Structure 1
């Protein structure tokens, strides 16, 4: 008998709301699974369940046949915007009161988000002269509430942002990973009305960072589901993971050395990514300037090699903390890194410009 069976289907007293991250490759079956899970939990356990599918709220890909989404920087901004909306709802869940649109929003996205909540009987509108406001539906107040976030979440940092929300509001947190063979995802994708480019799925398959409870303490309450097969035993285990999340909310303040180290690593990774992007832009602009100066093709090739070698050195120093090239404190300011890189880049450029004259 699992812990879920031992607890029974009924609960007494209030229950902490929970956030469940549902992740996996495109066409792994996440949305189908999320709908089935929500239906089962509502019918068999009497829970209030909300499925927030990112595909239903974030802007669709343009109708140009490519399936291309906004640039990565814009896409990240949109995801951050959606998390802001989710936080508005969590504030009402934890503190009560009314929910209204935050300032400077993407209006269409907010409306899709609200529609998602209303369609699942999570919020109801209230009359207000100033603006549209919403309160929790009575059915949400009187029973356990689980929010399932349905998206690829292929980077650990994407899922960690949700965990931070759970920690901020002392909510339950868990992760479900749908492990579906790449070939199956590709076959399913081809049958979709609006298919994702196959190269996107291939690329995501290489990049995806599966939940790793052994490495990351915050991922300890995670479960891998073998898709497309999902047995009754797996279903019971999923319920057990969800119950564990609801009954063990994340502590708001964690005096935990391991957790602090995890935070530091993720922060460092984000800084490294931003620096890498900035240095790539700088190198690209420098090469454009060199071409405009009509530097000889052979020298252009050597210049590109020197600049990329310099960039690689900077990034490695950031990873290792050696600071061989860098003159800035440990609390890294990205602008200082770029400034230092540009100084050395200018020295290299001068060498090639002097060859021209």
Structure 2
């Protein structure tokens, strides 16, 4: 019967070629030098081994080409959900001292009668969308276990160069697309991402920094929510932040468009242009604040993330919101 004292999920995120798998190997080597090495059991969950690389490439390139195939998209989601379920079953075994031979064998775990073993599960994937990482935070919350993140930060150029030395390479176009869509951790804005370490090629004592946040996560497991409303509010904030940057770029462009339209309107008094410009910019700022606070009601299909095929719809939604702001400030300004 497996017994575990503490468990932590460690999310590794970054572009293909950033060095995530290499860093996982270094952690396995460094654990031998730790004073409590005999009470730590590292488990490497490599998504490249569980999800065919060809399917990953097809999905990313499909997104890039904007030719999303419904069947391919569902296949992708189904495969990732299957990995999630396997990790869930693994934690269930370790947390509740149950035996699931298929799962234990899959992750190479040997049964042992030791109640003092800490299990550290290394989740080795790109995790470039925040939603991909958040579901594992929710898993940690569900089981009341530790959670932390390690973001391997590197330029697209370095990732592409290092990818070329891999046995199995990811297409350069896929890396470039992923780099554009990557949503870095925001520990200052999102409480669930607070236990994050950023690793770059210049980071000293890399494994020491990771062991520090792992220990912190083991000591402070994620607490279950007593109030469901808090989770809903957190999800709204997360969704809003994921589109805030793109919305800001669209709104800045929209400000210029609205001012140009006003100038081109022969019935619009030239003397009112300065006041109109001020109101448009004020509207832009208030919308951005509402997005970041999570109080702006995005359509549900836009709230999670904005891919290219949804960008036009977001533009139309933001223009509508801007026109509402202008009407509130001056009923006749948009007529």
Q: Figure out how many residues of one structure are paired with residues of the other and give that number.
A: 250
Partners of 1:275 and 1:236 lie apart in 2 by 34
* Partner in structure 2 of residue 246 of structure 1: 218
Distance (whole Å) between structure 1 residues aligned to residue 93 and residue 320 of structure 2: 41
Residue 48 of structure 1 is matched in structure 2 by 41
Q: Is the 8 A contact 2:57 2:174 kept in 1?
A: no
Change (3 A) 1:21 1:245: same
2:169 maps to which of 167, 175, 195: 195
Give deviations 1:22-71, integer Å, cap 9, x for gaps. 11110000001011112322552321010101001112317xxx953583
The equivalent of 1:133 in structure 2 is none
**What is the CA–CA distance in structure 1 between the aligned matches of 2:302 and 2:101, rounded to whole Å?**
34
Tell me the CA shift for residue 191 of structure 1. 2.2
2:80 alignment counterpart: 79
SS in 2 for 1:48: strand
CA distance, structure 1, for counterparts of residue 49 and residue 182 of structure 2: 22
Q: Does 2:35 match 1:35?
A: no
Instruction: Return the match for 2:187 from 184, 190, 213.
Output: 213
1:121-132 map, 5 Å? 122-123=109-110
Contact 1:168 1:252 (8 Å CA) reproduced? yes
| Alpha-carbon distance, 1:202 to partner | 1.1
Per the alignment, residue 154 of structure 1 pairs with 128
Secondary structure of the residue aligned to 1:231 is coil
Aligned counterpart, 1:170: 144
TM-score between both structures, scaled by the size of structure 2: 0.64
**Residue number in structure 1 paired with 2:248:** none
2:8/2:145 contact within 8 Å kept? yes
2:16 aligned with 1:26, yes or no? yes
Which ranges of structure 1 fall in alignment gaps of 5 or more residues? 1-12, 102-112, 124-136, 282-307, 323-357
From the superposition, tell whether residues 18 and 163 of structure 1 become closer, same or farther in structure 2 (CA, over 3 Å).
Answer: same
Q: Which residue of 2 aligns with 1:236?
A: 208
The CA distance in 2 between the partners of 1:196 and 1:260, in whole Å, is: 36
1:313–1:188 Cα change, 3 Å:
closer
- The CA distance in 2 between the partners of 1:166 and 1:95, in whole Å, is 14
Change (3 A) 1:267 1:180: closer
Greater helix fraction, Structure 1 or Structure 2: 2
1:194-242 residue CA offsets vs partner (Å, 9 max, x unmatched): 2111111111111111111111000010000113x4422x432221111
Map of 2:99 onto structure 1: 98
Structure 1 residue 145 displacement after superposition: 0.9
1:276 and 1:177 map into 2 onto residues whose CA distance is: 20
Check the 8 A contact 1:58/1:78 in 2, yes or no. yes
Partners of 2:177 and 2:97 lie apart in 1 by 43
Q: Which TM-score applies when normalising by structure 1?
A: 0.61
Please say if residues 14 and 143 of structure 1, whose CA atoms lie closer than 8 Å, have aligned partners that are also in contact: yes
